[in-house]
């Protein structure tokens, strides 16, 4: 399929274009030999397909399809032996077990929603205090605030 008309070629051959678009395609076909050849090829292909017989279908195909779509036989009920039955718990024990399970689930959900315990208070750090500057200068080789004199800070 050429890039000029694209899918409009098959729509043109099938007669599915609007009048305005059909006129545009006809105008293009008068100037473009490549697209004219493509339209002729599509017309030849469609006429070949119309003239050919359909695919041959085996005679027993419909019988095989009906056999596939037929309903399966109904299931055969299986009888249980009395030993295969479960013993039901008394109503009071079952109610207590279900209540306990809900209690555990509720407590777990409440604890997970509450989150971790709060952290303890932390003393604020004031980096402008002279003691902080002195301690920082003593433990490192730098003085963070160059405007302060280390001698005057250490005397305080």
> What is the pLDDT, as a whole number, of residue 1?
52
**Would the pLDDT of 110 be above 60?**
yes
Is residue 2 within 8 Å of 38, Cβ to Cβ? yes
pLDDT band at 93 (very low <50, low <70, confident <90, very high): confident
pLDDT band at 132 (very low <50, low <70, confident <90, very high): low
> What is the pLDDT, as a whole number, of residue 83?
64
Residue 17 lies in a domain: yes
Of 24-28, 77-81, 131-135, the range with the lowest mean pLDDT is 131-135
Q: What are phi and psi of 145, to 5 degrees?
A: -115, 110
Residue 43 lies in a domain: yes
126 or 153, higher pLDDT: 126
Q: In this structure, what token pair is assigned to residue 45?
A: 């292909």
Element (H, E) at 19: helix 19-31
Residue 35 lies in a domain: yes
Tell me the pLDDT tens digit for each residue of 143-154.
555 555 555 544
Residue 20 lies in a domain: yes
Q: In this structure, what token pair is assigned to residue 89?
A: 């718990």
Q: Give the three-state DSSP class for 138.
A: helix
Cα separation, 59 vs 47, in Å, equals 28
Report how many helices (DSSP H) and strands (DSSP E) the chain contains, helices first. 7, 0
> What is the pLDDT, as a whole number, of residue 103?
92
Range of the domain at 24: 8-51
Residue 75 lies in a domain: no
89 or 111, higher pLDDT: 111
Residue 32 lies in a domain: yes
Buried b (16+ CB within 10 A) or exposed e, 47-71: eeeeeeeeeeeeeeeeeeeeeeeee
Average pLDDT, the chain: 77
How many other CB atoms are found less than 10 A from the CB of residue 99? Answer: 10
In this prediction, what percent of the chain has a pLDDT beyond 70? Answer: 72
Tell me the pLDDT tens digit for each residue of 26-50.
998 898 888 888 999 989 988 888 7
Structurally, how many domains does the chain consist of? 1
**For the residues of 25-55, what is the DSSP string, one character each?**
HHHHHHH-HHHHHHHHHHHHHHHHHHHSPPP
Residue 110 lies in a domain: no
Residue 42 lies in a domain: yes
């Amino acid at each position: 399929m050429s890039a000029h008309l694209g899918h409009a070629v098959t729509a043109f051959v099938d007669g599915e274009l609007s009048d305005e678009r059909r006129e545009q395609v006809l105008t293009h076909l008068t100037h473009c030999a490549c697209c004219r050849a493509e339209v002729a090829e599509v017309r030849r292909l469609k006429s070949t397909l119309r003239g050919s017989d359909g695919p041959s279908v085996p005679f027993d195909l419909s019988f095989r399809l009906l056999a596939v779509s037929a309903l399966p036989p109904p299931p055969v009920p299986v009888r249980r032996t009395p030993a295969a039955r479960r013993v039901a718990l008394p109503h009071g024990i079952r109610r207590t077990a279900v209540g306990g399970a809900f209690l555990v689930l509720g407590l777990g959900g409440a604890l997970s929603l509450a989150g971790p315990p709060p952290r303890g208070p932390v003393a604020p750090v004031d980096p402008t205090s002279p003691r902080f500057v002195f301690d920082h200068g003593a433990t490192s080789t730098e003085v963070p605030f160059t405007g302060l004199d280390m001698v005057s800070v250490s005397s305080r």
